[in-house]
Amino acid sequence: MRAPSDKKKLRKLNKPGNVLALAFAVAVIISSWVCLASETSKTPTRISVLLATGMPGGSYHHLGLIMASMWTTKLKIVGLRVSAAISEGARENIEALRIRDADLILADDFSCSLAYRGIGPYKSRGFRELRSIANLWPEAVHLLIRSNGSPKPTLEDLRGLTIATGLPESGTRFTTEILLRGLRNHKPLSKLKFMNYASAIDSLRIGTVQAADFTAAIPSSLVNDLLQPDPKLFSFIQISDNDIKTAKRYGWTNCERIVIPAVTYPGQVDPVNTVGQNTILATTSSLDPEVIYDLIRILFENVDQLAKYHPAFRNILLERAFNGLVAPLHKGAVRYFKEKKIHIPDGLAPPDAE
C-alpha cells in the first residue's frame, strides 16, 4: 500500500510518453463517476493504491482504468485512491507485485497459477505471498490472419508465417507459443514477433506480419479498429477441440472454449470458435485486509454501472468469483465472501486465516 510520501516509482510500468495520455484518460473516466460520488465534510487519511494493468488499447488497461476511477470515486469517503499504471502485461505485473512496485494487479489465471506454484518460468522462485481477490472476466484469443482464401482458417494456416503477439512479459506471448507448439513437429515453423498492440495492427495491415494474436475481453476495441476499414482483408483463426487438448497437454491446463458470437465485429458473419482464460484481480498477503474488503465490496456492488462502459464487467458474478483461482484468497476478500454466505473452498483459504 502506497503512502503519499512514497517516492518509489514503478520501474517499467510507467513508461515515458504515456504519462500525459494516462492522466487524461483517468480524468475523463473519473468525470463520468462524479455524479455517483458521496460528499463528505470529513478529511480522511489518504491511502494510495497502485493497480498494474496492461498496454494501452488492451482490455487490461482500458477496464483497469475504469475500475480504478470507480474505486477512487466511491471510496473517497474513506480516503482510498486507486491509480492505474501501464505495463507489458501479466508477467510484468506479477513481478511488480513481488518487488512491491504495485499493490494490485490484473493477470490471467494461467500466469498466476504458475507463479504461485513456482513452475514453468517461475521455477525455483514461487510467489507464495500471492493472493487472489476474485475472478473478473474471461479473455478470448483473437487470432487474426491476413485473408488467404480459406473460408475458416485454422492453426495450420499459420505454419511458416510471422505472427505478432504480445510484448515479452505479457501472458499473450506465452499462450500464443503454446497454441503453436502443435505445429512444431513439422516444418516450416512459425515465427513470433513481440510488439505492442499499435505496432501489431500497423504491421498486420502492411503485411510485415501475416497474423496477430489480440487476446482480450469481448468485444475488443483493437480488433474492431483493425477490421473497421475493410473486414474482408482479415479472417479469424478457428481453434478446434483438438487444438485445445493439445494446449492443455503442453501446460495451458486451465484454457477453456470461448465462442465469439456472430456479428460481434465488422464483417464477422459467423461465430468464432476460440479459446481463452480468466482475468484475476490479485494482490499480496501484506496488503491491509480493510483495503481489500472495501475494494471487493465496491466492485461487486457496482457491476451494473461498470457494465455501461464495457460488457465484460457483466461477468463479475459471485458464482464465478473463484473460477480459475489457485493462489489463496486474501483475508479481506474472505471476509466479504463470508458476509455474502459464499462457501470458501478449502484450497483457497489463506494459510494465515484466523
The confidence score (pLDDT) of residue 58 equals 93
**Residue 350 one-letter amino acid:** P
Q: Are 51 and 64 in contact, with CB atoms under 8 Å apart? A: yes
Same-domain check for residues 160 and 264: yes
Domain stops at, among 277, 295, 310:
277
Strand, helix or coil for residue 276:
strand
Domain interval for residue 329: 19-137+279-348
Q: Is residue 2 part of a domain?
A: no
Contacts of 133 (CB under 8 A, 6+ apart): 104, 280, 281, 282, 283, 292, 295, 296, 329, 330, 332, 333
Residue 58 and residue 174 in one domain: no
Residue 343 domain flag: yes
Q: Report pLDDT for 12.
A: 41
Number of domains in the chain: 2
**What local confidence, expressed as pLDDT, does residue 354 receive?**
53
In a domain? residue 6: no
pTM for the full predicted model: 0.86
C-alpha cell at 56: 494501452
- Please check whether residue 284 lies inside any domain of the structure: yes
Kindly state whether residues 160 and 288 are assigned to the same domain: no
**In whole angstroms, what separates CA 239 from the centre of its chain?**
21
Q: Are residues 70 and 121 in the same domain?
A: yes
Do both 169 and 263 map to the same domain? Answer: yes
Q: Quick one: 178 and 241 in the same domain? A: yes
**340 assigned to some structural domain:** yes
- Domain-located, residue 122: yes
With cell 505471498, the residue in question is 129
Distance CA 278, CA 92 (A): 17
Contact 45, 84 (CB under 8 A): no
CATH (domain of 89): 3.40.190.10
151 and 264 together in one domain: yes
Q: Are residues 95 and 80 in the same domain?
A: yes
Q: How far is CA 146 from the centre of its chain?
A: 26
Q: Are residues 153 and 232 in the same domain?
A: yes
Q: Evaluate whether residue 10 is within a structural domain.
A: no
DSSP H or E stretch at residue 163: strand 162-165
Q: Do 203 and 237 belong together in one domain?
A: yes
Identify the H or E element spanning 282: strand 272-284
pLDDT recorded at residue 246: 94
**Closest by Cα among 64, 76, 88 to 15:** 88
The residue out of 277, 305, 340 marking a domain boundary is: 277
CA-CA distance, 43 to 62, in Å (whole number)?
A: 30
In the predicted model, residues of the chain with pLDDT beneath 50 are 2-42
Nearest to residue 253, comparing CAs of 282, 277, 272? 277
| Chain segment 36-72, per-residue pLDDT in tens | 444 443 456 789 999 999 999 999 999 999 999 999 9
Residue 24 lies in a domain: yes
pLDDT score recorded for residue 44: 60
State the cell numbers at 249: 497437454
Candidates 271, 276, 286, 279; CA nearest to 325 is 279
Residues 242 and 163 both lie in one domain: yes
Please check whether residues 162 and 39 belong to one and the same domain. Answer: no
Q: Identify whether the C-beta of residue 97 lies closer than 8 Å to the C-beta of residue 64.
A: no
Give backbone dihedrals phi and psi of 218, rounded to 5 degrees, phi first: -95, 130
Nearest 10 degrees: Cα torsion 338, 342, 347, 348: -60
Q: Classify residue 310 as exposed, middle or buried by CB count within 10 Å of its CB (0-12, 13-18, 19+).
A: middle
Q: Considering 220, 255, 277, which residue would you say is the last residue of a domain?
A: 277
